[in-house]
Amino acid sequence: MCKHRTTSYYVTQILTGHGSFGSFTKRIHKTVDDTCASCGQRDDPAHVLYECVRWGEKRGRLKKLLGGDLPRATEIIGEMLKDRETWKAVTTFMTEVMTKKEKEHRITQG
Ligand SMILES: [Zn+2]
């Protein structure tokens, strides 16, 4: 099996928005609202990548590694493909965040 399976799974969730985001779970009627469990704002991939205070520390570390702000969602793939370090930094952030979000969604849905 491809050892990157888990990483691609979470990266795909962020890039497509089909995953543990309120914006998606509400649409497929898994949750009644689309707000972020951590801060109450609308929960979607952009919220996770750029806004949510909960991931501020991880985001800060990622920004430092990238040497600036996070690229916009439409540019993030191009940025990730630049080199191995960037790829690793971005996918690690996405995987860590999505693993946590997914686990919580499972818990809150009981
Ligand atoms: Zn939030």
Residue 9 within a domain:
no
Confidence class for position 64, pLDDT limits 50, 70, 90: very high
Rounded to whole angstroms, how far apart are CA atoms 53 and 32?
23
pTM of the entire predicted model: 0.86
**What integer pLDDT is reported at residue 107 of this predicted model?**
64
What would the mean pLDDT of 41-61 be, rounded to a whole number?
96
How far, in Å, is the centroid of ligand 1 from the Cα of 45? 10
Note the pLDDT tens digit of each residue in 65-108. 998 889 887 888 888 888 999 999 999 999 999 999 988 877 66
**What integer pLDDT is reported at residue 1 of this predicted model?**
47
Beta-bridge partner residues of 35:
42
**What integer pLDDT is reported at residue 79 of this predicted model?**
87
Please give the residue range of the domain that contains residue 90: 16-97
Residue 104 within a domain:
no
How far, in Å, is the centroid of ligand 1 from the Cα of 79? 24
Residue 34 within a domain:
yes
**What integer pLDDT is reported at residue 62 of this predicted model?**
95
- 44: Cβ–Cβ under 8 A, 6 or more apart, which residues? 17, 21, 22, 23, 24, 34
Residue 8 within a domain:
no
Q: Say how many domains are in the chain.
A: 1
How far, in Å, is the centroid of ligand 1 from the Cα of 47? 6
Burial class (CB in 10 A: 0-12, 13-18, 19+), 57: exposed
